[in-house]
């Protein structure tokens, strides 16, 4: 998400901060800023803060016009999550005394209650960000020991953070901390770096300390000491990186697409952060609708294009199944030309990763004209969809650079699962016991996705065998149907191999005519109410000599000696299974495309955001 750089050493900090922020631009951002500690004597010591509410180049122009001098500083590129992309909301943020300076990547789940507590104690806030509670919370705990105050403050924080901080009282101390967000410490010659990304520091050092969860790094001219929040010293992992800048931007992966698939566990976790209680109560900060009002909507309309439409189909299934409300997923480009049959009793959900998809925006405007309540499910804060809708559900997946959507799709699916659970709860359709079951299933997802990704070599081996085929059929039932459509879409997007998706029931009504020994089928056969029907379909396909790759639930033996290949998936809730199956098929498509020598990050004829009809 956001980019972080901190520096302490013998050289001037400002040029290093500027160069590092330029290298972090690839992550995507909306504003930038730096804070540099100036002055050697306590009497003249002060911090120079420079911000830009646009690009790093604008920030650099400001800095070059009035260059701060100092050996300690922090810098930041912001991907907005709380508060619009404005100068005031840009990082770094400070406390009431202007002694403590902080940059932050992540989401602080309990910032609202902390802010209320701090305001009651007399603290004054200037921004709309969740980050600003951090310097104020440190200030509230500060009794002359900055590091102790940081530890005490962080013990109060829930959520995800990567932080770089300093105090004007400690000119030789740079502090970094992380929880559920990456942070590294670079070790140079008489100089040290704290960064969210190895990309930022790759020209300066190849020696990097990887901080663990809940660890704090105290960096001084004598080195870096890492400890827990309780002050226990730990020995961090030291790695030597041989990447160039391009490799570093991709986290050492060959392509952005692969990196972003590997980012999925974090994206799934971020989509749930601060939104889901242990008892299954869901709340959305930017879509805070009273239960009574939300209960009054009689249908849900879901609009999207491409991958977002497939996510909408998942939402349609879950809303009808869990909440008992009629729901329909629509191709936004066709919806805009249809005669409207909805009105003020409709909840219109628009799905757009970029928030700028032209056809989806037209659908949003049309829904508003008809009096529907509108909510945008999007990854980009203050995008057109987020601004124009009545509310927003942000994915918090971080920038996605690969053209083919991966982690944003899974974040969309999780977000729609949460919305479905919210609707089910207000309509009294789900018991406390069932809500707790769903909470357990959703919270287990990040680790389950991580375990699946760890099987990448196994998936790649299968993909390489299937890469010789020029046509594919994907099929599924229930939630498996949109998964099949998305699997086919990913394959044709990045490998240029023909692929199409269909339902198991529809298979015999035409598509089966295509099948032969050179036309393989990918079957979504994981556990579901229609699994036995899927097994029957696979037998019909095999009878036509078509090779079958079946995704099955671990321990299921019903397709032994039937399908040419089976890939075992974990036994999980059906909604979790849909997400895991999707990730598996993303990796399958990726490795088919790589075997064929395609450019998976920039597939031909495609754009990341389709802003024209």
User: Do 74 and 221 fall within a single domain?
Assistant: yes
Q: How many helices (H) and strands (E) does the chain have?
A: 19, 25
Q: Which stretches of 40-121 are DSSP H helices?
A: 56-65, 111-120
pLDDT at residue 575, as a whole number: 96
534-578: per-residue pLDDT in tens?
A: 999 999 999 999 999 999 999 999 999 999 999 999 999 999 999
User: Do 444 and 526 fall within a single domain?
Assistant: no
On whether residue 112 sits in a domain, the answer given is yes
User: Do 534 and 448 fall within a single domain?
Assistant: no
Task: Look at 42 and 261; give whichever has higher pLDDT.
Answer: 261
For 437-562, where are the E strands, in sequence order? 471-476, 498-503, 521-525, 548-553
Q: Domain boundary at 452, 480, 506, which?
A: 452
Q: What is the mean pLDDT of residues 415-439?
A: 97
Q: Answer whether 532's CB lies under 8 Å from 559's CB.
A: no
Confidence of residue 181 (pLDDT cuts 50, 70, 90): confident
pLDDT at residue 459, as a whole number: 98
pLDDT tops 80 at residue 611: no
pLDDT at residue 291, as a whole number: 95
On whether residue 474 sits in a domain, the answer given is yes
On whether residue 610 sits in a domain, the answer given is no
Q: Answer whether 579's CB lies under 8 Å from 445's CB.
A: yes
pLDDT tops 60 at residue 94: yes
Q: What is the mean pLDDT of residues 468-497?
A: 97
* Residue 596: strand, helix, or coil: coil
pLDDT at residue 2, as a whole number: 83
Q: What is the mean pLDDT of residues 83-96?
A: 93
Question: Rounded to an integer, what distance in angstroms lies between the CA atom of residue 193 and that of residue 200?
Answer: 9
Question: Rounded to an integer, what distance in angstroms lies between the CA atom of residue 159 and that of residue 185?
Answer: 21
pLDDT at residue 401, as a whole number: 87
Question: Rounded to an integer, what distance in angstroms lies between the CA atom of residue 583 and that of residue 570?
Answer: 13
Share of the chain above pLDDT 90, in %: 83
Residue numbers of the domain that contains 119 = 3-249
pLDDT at residue 88, as a whole number: 94
Q: Could you tell me which residues are beta bridge partners of residue 306?
A: none
pLDDT at residue 609, as a whole number: 66
- State the CATH number of the domain containing residue 533: 3.40.50.10490
Q: Domain boundary at 212, 231, 249, which?
A: 249
User: Do 355 and 485 fall within a single domain?
Assistant: no
444-471: per-residue pLDDT in tens?
A: 999 999 999 999 999 999 999 999 999 9
Q: CA of 300: how far to CAs of 157, 218, 308, 313, 439, in Å?
A: 36, 51, 16, 12, 23
On whether residue 192 sits in a domain, the answer given is yes
Matching residue, tokens 């009497």? 43
Pairing label, strands 174-179, 159-167: antiparallel
On whether residue 604 sits in a domain, the answer given is no
Q: CA of 497: how far to CAs of 471, 539, 548, 595, 607, in Å?
A: 6, 25, 17, 12, 18
Q: What is the mean pLDDT of residues 477-485?
A: 97
Question: Rounded to an integer, what distance in angstroms lies between the CA atom of residue 141 and that of residue 406?
Answer: 41
pLDDT at residue 7, as a whole number: 98
On whether residue 504 sits in a domain, the answer given is yes
User: Do 350 and 331 fall within a single domain?
Assistant: yes
Question: Rounded to an integer, what distance in angstroms lies between the CA atom of residue 313 and that of residue 319?
Answer: 10
Matching residue, tokens 């089910």? 424
Pairing label, strands 184-187, 191-195: antiparallel
3-55: per-residue pLDDT in tens?
A: 899 999 999 999 999 999 998 887 778 899 999 999 877 777 899 999 999 88
pLDDT at residue 199, as a whole number: 84
Q: How many domains does the chain have?
A: 3
On whether residue 600 sits in a domain, the answer given is no
Question: What mean pLDDT is reported for the chain?
Answer: 94
Q: Answer whether 520's CB lies under 8 Å from 473's CB.
A: yes
Question: Rounded to an integer, what distance in angstroms lies between the CA atom of residue 248 and that of residue 195?
Answer: 12
User: Do 299 and 264 fall within a single domain?
Assistant: yes
186-202: per-residue pLDDT in tens?
A: 999 999 999 998 888 98
Report residue 483 as tokens: 């998964």
Q: Domain boundary at 218, 249, 280, which?
A: 249
Catalytic residues: 2, 608
Question: Rounded to an integer, what distance in angstroms lies between the CA atom of residue 536 and that of residue 96?
Answer: 68
DSSP letter at 40 equals: S
Q: CA of 176: how far to CAs of 75, 147, 221, 356, 589, in Å?
A: 13, 10, 15, 35, 38
**In which order are the strands placed within the sheet that holds 223-228?**
93-94, 100-108, 159-167, 174-179, 215-220, 223-228, 233-234
- State the CATH number of the domain containing residue 113: 3.60.20.10
On whether residue 38 sits in a domain, the answer given is yes
Most confident of 187-191, 380-384, 419-423: 419-423
Largest pairwise CA distance in the chain: 86
Share of the chain above pLDDT 70, in %: 99
pLDDT tops 80 at residue 386: yes
52-79: per-residue pLDDT in tens?
A: 998 899 999 999 999 999 999 999 999 8
Question: Rounded to an integer, what distance in angstroms lies between the CA atom of residue 348 and that of residue 342?
Answer: 10
pLDDT tops 90 at residue 525: yes
101-153: per-residue pLDDT in tens?
A: 999 998 899 999 999 999 999 999 999 999 999 999 999 999 999 999 999 99
User: Do 81 and 207 fall within a single domain?
Assistant: yes
**In which order are the strands placed within the sheet that holds 237-240?**
46-52, 31-38, 72-78, 3-9, 191-195, 184-187, 207-210, 237-240
pLDDT at residue 84, as a whole number: 85
How crowded is residue 517: how many other Cβ atoms within 10 Å of its Cβ?
10
User: Do 58 and 199 fall within a single domain?
Assistant: yes
Query: Could you tell me how many residues make up the chain?
Result: 613
Q: CA of 361: how far to CAs of 136, 305, 364, 374, in Å?
A: 39, 11, 5, 11
User: Do 21 and 41 fall within a single domain?
Assistant: yes
Question: Rounded to an integer, what distance in angstroms lies between the CA atom of residue 58 and that of residue 256?
Answer: 27
pLDDT tops 90 at residue 249: no
Cα–Cα nearest to 332, from 376, 299, 373: 376
User: Do 285 and 238 fall within a single domain?
Assistant: no
* Residue 244: strand, helix, or coil: coil
DSSP letter at 319 equals: I
User: Do 372 and 465 fall within a single domain?
Assistant: no
pLDDT at residue 612, as a whole number: 53
User: Do 161 and 305 fall within a single domain?
Assistant: no
Confidence of residue 237 (pLDDT cuts 50, 70, 90): confident
Q: Which of 222-231, 356-365, 425-434 is the least confident region? A: 356-365
């Amino acid at each position: 998400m956001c980019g972080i750089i901190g520096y302490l050493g013998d050289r001037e900090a400002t040029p290093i901060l500027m160069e590092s922020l330029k290298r972090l631009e690839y992550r995507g951002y909306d504003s930038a800023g730096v804070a540099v500690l100036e002055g050697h004597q306590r009497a003249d010591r002060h911090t120079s803060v420079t911000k830009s509410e646009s690009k790093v180049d604008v920030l650099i122009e400001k800095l070059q016009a009035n260059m701060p001098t100092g050996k300690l500083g922090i810098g930041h590129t912001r991907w907005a999550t709380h508060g619009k992309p404005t100068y005031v909301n840009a990082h770094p943020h400070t406390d009431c005394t202007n002694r403590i300076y902080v940059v932050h990547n992540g989401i602080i789940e309990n910032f609202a209650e902390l802010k209320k507590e701090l305001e009651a104690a007399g603290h004054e806030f200037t921004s709309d960000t969740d980050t600003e509670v951090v310097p104020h919370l440190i200030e509230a705990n500060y009794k002359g020991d900055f590091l102790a105050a940081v530890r005490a403050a962080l013990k109060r924080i829930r959520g995800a953070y990567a932080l770089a901080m300093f105090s004007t009282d400690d000119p030789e101390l740079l502090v970094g901390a992380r929880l559920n967000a990456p942070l590294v410490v670079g070790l140079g010659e008489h100089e040290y770096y704290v960064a969210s990304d190895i990309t930022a520091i790759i020209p300066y050092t190849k020696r990097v300390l990887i901080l663990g969860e809940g660890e704090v790094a105290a960096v001084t001219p004598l080195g870096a000491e890492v400890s827990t929040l309780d002050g226990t010293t730990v020995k961090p992992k030291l790695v030597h990186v041989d990447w160039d800048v391009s490799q570093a931007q991709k986290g050492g992966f060959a392509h952005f697409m692969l990196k972003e698939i590997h980012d999925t566990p974090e994206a799934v976790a971020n989509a749930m952060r601060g939104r889901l209680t242990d008892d299954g109560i869901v709340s959305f900060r930017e879509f805070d609708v009273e239960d009574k009002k939300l209960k009054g909507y009689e249908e849900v309309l879901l609009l999207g294009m491409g991958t977002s439409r497939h996510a909408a189909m998942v939402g349609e299934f879950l809303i009808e199944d869990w909440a008992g409300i009629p729901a329909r997923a629509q191709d936004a480009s066709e919806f805009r030309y249809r005669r409207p049959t909805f009105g003020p009793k409709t909840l219109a959900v628009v799905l757009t990763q970029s928030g700028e998809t032209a056809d989806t925006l037209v659908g949003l405007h049309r829904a508003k004209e008809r009096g529907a309540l509108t909510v945008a499910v999007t990854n980009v804060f203050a995008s057109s969809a987020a601004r124009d809708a009545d509310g927003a559900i942000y994915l918090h997946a971080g920038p996605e650079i690969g053209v083919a959507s991966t982690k944003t799709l899974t974040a969309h699916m999780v977000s729609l699962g949460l919305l479905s659970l919210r609707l089910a709860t207000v309509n009294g359709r789900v018991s406390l016991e069932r809500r707790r079951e769903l909470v357990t299933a959703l919270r287990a997802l990040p680790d389950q996705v991580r375990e699946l990704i760890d099987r990448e070599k196994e998936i790649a081996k299968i993909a390489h065998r299937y890469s010789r085929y020029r046509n594919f059929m994907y099929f599924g039932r229930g939630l498996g149907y949109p998964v099949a459509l998305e699997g086919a879409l990913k394959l044709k997007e990045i490998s240029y191999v023909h692929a199409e998706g269909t339902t198991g029931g529809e298979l015999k009504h035409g598509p089966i005519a295509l099948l032969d020994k050179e036309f393989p089928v990918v079957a979504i056969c994981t556990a579901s109410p229609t699994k036995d029907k899927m097994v029957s379909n696979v037998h019909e396909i095999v009878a036509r000599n078509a090779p079958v790759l079946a995704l099955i639930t671990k321990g299921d033996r019903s397709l032994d000696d039937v399908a040419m290949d089976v890939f075992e998936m974990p036994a999980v809730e059906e909604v979790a299974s849909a997400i895991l199956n999707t990730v598996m098929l993303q990796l399958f498509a990726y490795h088919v495309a790589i075997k064929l020598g395609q450019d998976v990050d920039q597939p031909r004829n495609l754009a990341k955001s389709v802003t024209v009809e």
